[in-house]
């Protein structure tokens, strides 16, 4: 059998679903890094009407067939490469499992992605370039490219509007429901590992990096179930580049108490940030409209996606305006979004 080609951004949790499936089924595969801002070698062979979002697979064993959308890929792999020991969509449950996976892709997958990016942008925006390009840091160039990508990601995924879009509340409600789904059970459906378990664990993984959810005692059963599934059914998984870089960043010693004290009494900085946050909110308050890039489908056979249309600036002035706007959001709105999560943690512990 020839290796299946997986087009990927290695830190994507939708890609992780497919990587896990390929490994669970012990299928040979190779990976190609997806180029977000340009052409990806190999994808010129793909049908022009195919959605160019990863994961995408190309199967050289089946006339180089291309498939996109993680759940559709899982269905394809299960239909073509299953034996009695590794079926992910058992016939009797197939439609129920497909619906469950697509619902998770359209909700948990999207919420966790926005919250994961918010956490990353707040902790260390400069590692974003390394994560997306999958190359190690090359100094200032990487720093500026990282900042440019932060601006594009903020715009495409509305990271600066997480609070306004009530993503915390939607995630909390969903996690409460999912915790009930797994409570007291080994697996979600019929005492066997299925695509639903794999999808839930792959998508909830990003929230392990978001302390507000991961440390919340209400969801411990869900995160313990995640750990159990990984240990049993994905024992060789290696931490993604994003996870490794974030962990490294968190290992850095925290600022000394004296430095923290100085930061707190730095009234000039406080006033500057306070007023700039207000000004940025006021100046850019008009972009509350949501404009989806991908058709919101009603057929229920494909997941919904929440990427926004970003009007690419056509003039130099337009480009400068775009980057100033989202750089301001990075500096002033993102910390404000994280502060509202911190306040929720504080009110939880009181
Ligand atoms: N519902 C799709 C989601 C695919 C998706 O949004 N992929 C993102 C990575 S997480 C992507 O390709 N982003 C690249 C871009 O926005 O250009 C699936 O399940 O595969």
pLDDT 10s digits, 59-87: 999 999 999 999 999 999 999 999 989 99
Cα(348)–Cα(350) distance, integer angstroms: 6
Pocket-forming residues, ligand 1, beta carbon under 6 Å: 9, 12, 14, 36, 53-55, 69-70, 105, 113, 303, 305, 307
- Closest to 162 (Cα-Cα) out of 224, 112, 211, 89: 112
Strands (E), the chain: 4-8, 29-33, 56-59, 65-68
Longest dimension (CA), the chain: 67
* Atom of ligand 1 at shortest range from CA of 69: 20
- Closest to 333 (Cα-Cα) out of 266, 268, 296, 288: 288
- Ligand 1 center to residue 263 CA distance, Å? 39
Give Cβ neighbours of residue 338 (< 8 Å, ≥ 6 apart). 118, 119, 122
Tell me the pairing of strands 29-33 and 65-68. Answer: unpaired
Q: Of all protein residues, whose CA lies closest to atom 12 belonging to ligand 1?
A: 53
- Ligand 1 center to residue 152 CA distance, Å? 14
Contact 97, 196 (CB under 8 A): yes
- The pLDDT assigned to 12 comes to 93
* Lookup: tokens for 115: 């919250």
Cα(24)–Cα(86) distance, integer angstroms: 7
Cα(152)–Cα(165) distance, integer angstroms: 19
- The pLDDT assigned to 105 comes to 97
* Atom of ligand 1 at shortest range from CA of 53: 12
59 pairs with which residues across the strands? 65
Q: What angle do CA 22, 26, 31 make, to 5 degrees?
A: 45
All domains in the chain, ordered by first residue: 4-88 (3.40.30.10), 89-291+311-350 (no CATH)
- Ligand 1 center to residue 209 CA distance, Å? 19
Contact 88, 198 (CB under 8 A): yes
Q: H/E/C letters for each residue in 39-87?
A: CCCCHHHCCCCCCCCCCEEEECCCCCEEEECHHHHHHHHHHHCCCCCCC
Residue 220: C-alpha distances to residues 172, 208, 224, 227 (Å): 13, 11, 6, 10
* Atom of ligand 1 at shortest range from CA of 68: 20
pLDDT in tens, 276-301: 888 888 888 777 777 887 776 666 67
The tens-digit pLDDT sequence of the chain (350 residues) is 999 999 999 889 999 999 999 999 999 999 999 988 788 999 999 999 898 899 999 999 999 999 999 999 999 999 999 998 999 999 999 999 999 999 999 999 999 999 999 988 888 777 776 776 666 656 777 777 778 888 889 999 999 999 989 999 999 999 999 999 999 999 999 889 999 999 999 999 999 989 889 989 999 999 999 999 999 999 999 888 888 888 888 887 777 777 777 777 778 777 888 888 888 888 887 777 778 877 766 666 788 899 888 877 789 988 899 999 999 998 889 888 888 777 777 776 66
Q: Of all protein residues, whose CA lies closest to atom 10 belonging to ligand 1?
A: 12
173 pairs with which residues across the strands? none
Q: Of all protein residues, whose CA lies closest to atom 2 belonging to ligand 1?
A: 69
SS3 306: coil
- Ligand 1 center to residue 23 CA distance, Å? 21
* Lookup: tokens for 167: 């993503």
The secondary structure of residue 274, as a DSSP letter, is H
- Ligand 1 center to residue 15 CA distance, Å? 8
- The pLDDT assigned to 17 comes to 98
- Ligand 1 center to residue 13 CA distance, Å? 9
């Amino acid at each position: 059998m020839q290796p299946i080609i997986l087009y990927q951004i290695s830190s994507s949790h939708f890609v992780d679903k497919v990587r896990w499936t390929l490994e669970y089924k012990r299928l040979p595969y190779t990976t190609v890094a997806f180029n977000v801002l340009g052409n990806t070698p190999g994808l010129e062979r793909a049908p022009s009407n195919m959605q160019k979002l990863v994961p995408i697979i190309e199967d050289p064993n089946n006339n180089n067939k291309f498939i996109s959308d993680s759940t559709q890929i899982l269905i394809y792999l299960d239909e073509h490469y299953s034996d009695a020991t590794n079926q992910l969509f058992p016939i009797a449950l197939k439609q129920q499992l497909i619906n469950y996976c697509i619902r998770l892709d359209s909700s948990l997958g999207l919420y966790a992605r926005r919250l994961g990016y918010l956490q990353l942008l707040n902790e260390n925006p400069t590692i974003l370039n390394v994560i997306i390009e999958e190359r190690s840091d090359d100094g200032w160039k990487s720093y500026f490219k990282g900042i440019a990508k932060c601006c594009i990601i903020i715009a495409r995924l509305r990271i600066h509007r997480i609070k306004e879009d009530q993503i915390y509340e939607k995630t909390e409600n969903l996690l409460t429901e999912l915790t009930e789904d797994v409570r007291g059970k080994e697996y979600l459906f019929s005492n066997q590992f299925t695509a639903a378990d794999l999808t839930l664990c792959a998508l909830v993984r990003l929230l392990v990096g978001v302390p507000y959810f991961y440390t919340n005692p209400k969801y411990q059963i869900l995160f313990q179930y995640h750990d159990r599934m990984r240990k049993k059914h994905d024992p060789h998984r290696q931490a993604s580049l994003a996870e490794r870089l974030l962990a490294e960043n968190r290992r850095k010693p925290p600022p000394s108490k004296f430095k923290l004290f100085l930061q707190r009494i730095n009234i000039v900085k406080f006033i500057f940030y306070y007023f700039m946050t207000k000004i940025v909110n006021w100046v850019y308050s008009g972009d509350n409209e949501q404009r989806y890039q991908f058709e919101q489908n009603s057929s229920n056979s494909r997941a919904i996606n929440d990427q926004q249309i970003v009007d690419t600036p056509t003039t130099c002035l337009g480009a400068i305006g775009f980057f100033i706007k989202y750089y301001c959001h990075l500096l002033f709105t993102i910390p404000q979004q994280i502060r509202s999560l911190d306040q929720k943690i504080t009110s939880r512990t009181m």
